[in-house]
Structure 1
C-alpha cells in the first residue's frame, strides 16, 4: 500500500491487487482525499476487504446459487428466475470450471466455454448466455467475492441481426382468405393490426378496450414458462401502453363483445375464467400453416409483420417503438435493420452521440 500527496495537495492511495491472467500487475488507485488520515483509513479498509476476498473461497457454482438466492429475495419476476435457473443449469452441465474457485478462473476458461459449448447456440441465445455469465462475475466483484472482473479482458461477440422470415404485403393478401378458417383468426388479425405480443393478446380483458376512443390498453400478459403459468405484468415498464385501434380491429372486437362470455376477450373454451393458452395458439397456428401449405412463420412473427408494414409506410420510429412497447427507439432500430435504410440507421447513431 502506497500513500502519497498529489500536486493539488490532495492525497492518493495505491493498493496492489495481484496479477491478471496475462501476468500483468493490477492496482487499485483512488485520489481526492483532503487529509492523509482519511486516505489511510479508506486504504486500510480496502486492504481488509482484499484480505477477506483472498481468504474467502467460493466456487463459480457457489456464486451462481448465491446470486439466485439474492434474486429471489429481491422479488424478481418468476419468469426471470426460471430463465436464470436455466442459464445456471447450462453452466453446471457445460462449464469445466464450474467447481473452480471463482478467483482462479482465467480468460482461457471463459473462452473454452464460449468456443466449445455456447458457440453451438443460436446467435441471440449465445449472446444472452455470455452476458449472463458476465453478470455473475460482475455480481461477484460488486459483492467483494473477487478482486477484479475477468470479463474486463473479454470482448463479447456482436449480435448479428438477420432478416426475419415473414410474409410480405402481397403474401398477406393471398393468405388472409385461407386464414379466415383458422380457429384463432380474430386473435391473429388483431395481432397483425396492433403488434401485440402473444401473451399480451391472450391476457386482454374487456375493461382494456375503449370503444369510445378506439384505444386498447396493454397492462398485463399471460406467460407460460417452465413450471410457471399465469397473468403477470408486461415484459417491461414501457410495455404498459395504449394502442390506437384500426378499423378492422374495432369491427372484430365489437363483434366479439356482443357475444362475450368472460372478462377475457379470448377466453379458454375449457375454463372461461382463464384466457386461452398462448402456447396452444402457437401450436394451432403452426399446424394450420403446414396443413394449408402456407409459408411458415411463428405466431410471434405477426408482430414483426405489423412493424415491417408500418415502417414501409414511413411511420415515425418513435411512434412505432411506443406502439410495440419497446424499451427504447434504439432497440426498434436494431430489431428492424432489415427494413430501415442503412443511411437512416447511421443518422440515428450519429444523433445519439449528441445527448
Structure 2
C-alpha cells in the first residue's frame, strides 16, 4: 500500500509530493519494511513512480538503490575484486588512476546520481587537458567494471556506463630507426657499459619488450638451439619493488630464434659477467638476470627511459622511445620481406591482424614492390615464349 503526501518546498508551488510504500514486516529483522521517495512535482507523478516500484517488486526486479558514494564503491571494488583478479602491476595502475583521476572527480557523488552525461563531459575535459585517447580508454575500462560491480552489489539498478562511449583511439604513425641508424647507435653504445649495450642490442635484434628484456635470465637462453625462451616480464611496483610477472596473454610466452651473431654477443657478454662475479667469489648461474649492472641483480625498468634519452643524444641519432626499438625490429623485418605471421609470433601478438594493423604503412609499401615484382615476372615469362 502507498501513502502520498505534500511536503513543503522552496519552489513556485511551495510544495512537492512524496510517497511511502508499506511492504509489511521483514521476516529476518522483524521490522517494518518501507520505501520512501520524495521530490515529485505532482501527485500523478508520484503515483506513477510508486506503481513502477510495486511492479518491479512483484517481478522481483526491484533494486532499492543505496546512498553509497563513488569513493566507497571504487575503493571496495579495488580491494575486494581487482586485487584478487588482476596482476600486481595492473592493480598498481588501477590504483594510480583511481586516486589521481576518479576519486577527485566523482568521489563525493552518490553512485545513483552518476549518469552517462556526467561521464561523457568528463571525457571531454580530459581531452581538452591533453590526455590521449588511449589513456581515457583505460579510465573507461575501470569505470565500466566499477559500474557493473555497483549493479551486482545492488547499489544501483541501471549500469551508468551502458550508454557511454570512450573516444576512439587515433592511429599514430610508428616512429622507427633505419638500419643505418641502428648500426650507428649500437656502434656508439659499444663504448658504454656492457649491460647497457646488450640491452639495446637485444631490443633491436629481437623486438622484445622492455620488461621482457629486463626479466630475462641466463637459463632462458638455449645457446645450442639458438633460442630465447620468454616466460616473464619485470615490473617495478611501488611498495613491492621489482616483481616478475607472467605475460599478459598466452602468446606473450614464446620462443624466438636468434642468429649466430646474437649468440656470439651473448657469449662474450656472459664471459665478462662470469669474470665480474669471480672477483668477489661468486659464480654465474641460470637464475641470474642477463641485463645486470653487477652480477645478476636486475635493473629497475623505471630507470631505462632517462638512460635511453641520454644515449640517443650521445649517439647523435633521431629521438625515439625505447619501445620504438621494438617497432624498429618489426618494421625492418617486414621491409626485408619476412612473413607477417613470423613477425607476429616474434613480437608475441595474439594474432597476425594486430601486426598487420600496427605496421600497415610497411605492408602498403610492400604492396607496391610486390605489384612490380608480379608484373616483372609475367613480362619476363612472356618475352621468353
TM bucket normalised to smaller: 0.7 to 0.9
**Map of 1:313-328 to 2, 5 A cutoff?**
313-328=336-351
In structure 2, the CA distance between the partners of 1:151 and 1:307, relative to structure 1 (3 Å rule), is same
Report the Cα offset of residue 139 of structure 1.
2.8
Distance in 2 between the 1:343 and 1:130 partners? 37
- Structure 1 equivalent of residue 264 of structure 2: 251
Q: Where does structure 2 lack aligned partners over 5 or more consecutive residues?
A: 1-47, 49-55, 275-283, 368-385
- Structure 2 equivalent of residue 203 of structure 1: 215
Report the Cα offset of residue 118 of structure 1.
5.1
- Structure 2 equivalent of residue 266 of structure 1: 290
- CA-atom RMSD in angstroms: 2.7
In structure 2, the CA distance between the partners of 1:45 and 1:328, relative to structure 1 (3 Å rule), is farther
- Structure 2 equivalent of residue 310 of structure 1: 333
Distance in 2 between the 1:330 and 1:137 partners? 31
Distance in 1 between the 2:139 and 2:127 partners? 7
**Map of 1:226-245 to 2, 5 A cutoff?**
226-228=238-240, 229-245=242-258
Report the Cα offset of residue 83 of structure 1.
0.5
Matched position secondary structure for 1:127:
helix
Bigger drift between 219-228 and 203-212 goes to 219-228
Superposition TM-score, scaled by structure 2 size:
0.69
Report the Cα offset of residue 91 of structure 1.
3.2
Distance in 2 between the 1:283 and 1:246 partners? 30
Report the Cα offset of residue 94 of structure 1.
4.3
Distance in 2 between the 1:58 and 1:336 partners? 46
- Structure 2 equivalent of residue 218 of structure 1: 230
Report the Cα offset of residue 188 of structure 1.
0.8
- Structure 1 equivalent of residue 378 of structure 2: none
Structure number with greater Rg is 2
Distance in 1 between the 2:90 and 2:253 partners? 18
Equivalent in 204, 213, 222 of residue 192 of structure 1: 204
Report the Cα offset of residue 81 of structure 1.
1.0
Matched position secondary structure for 1:224:
strand
Superposition TM-score, scaled by structure 1 size:
0.75
Report the Cα offset of residue 337 of structure 1.
3.4
In structure 2, the CA distance between the partners of 1:182 and 1:161, relative to structure 1 (3 Å rule), is farther
Q: Aligned residues, how many?
A: 298
Residues 15-54 of structure 1 show CA distances to partners (whole Å, capped at 9, x for unaligned) of xxxxxxxxxx9xxxxxxxxxxxxxxxxx86862x52xx32
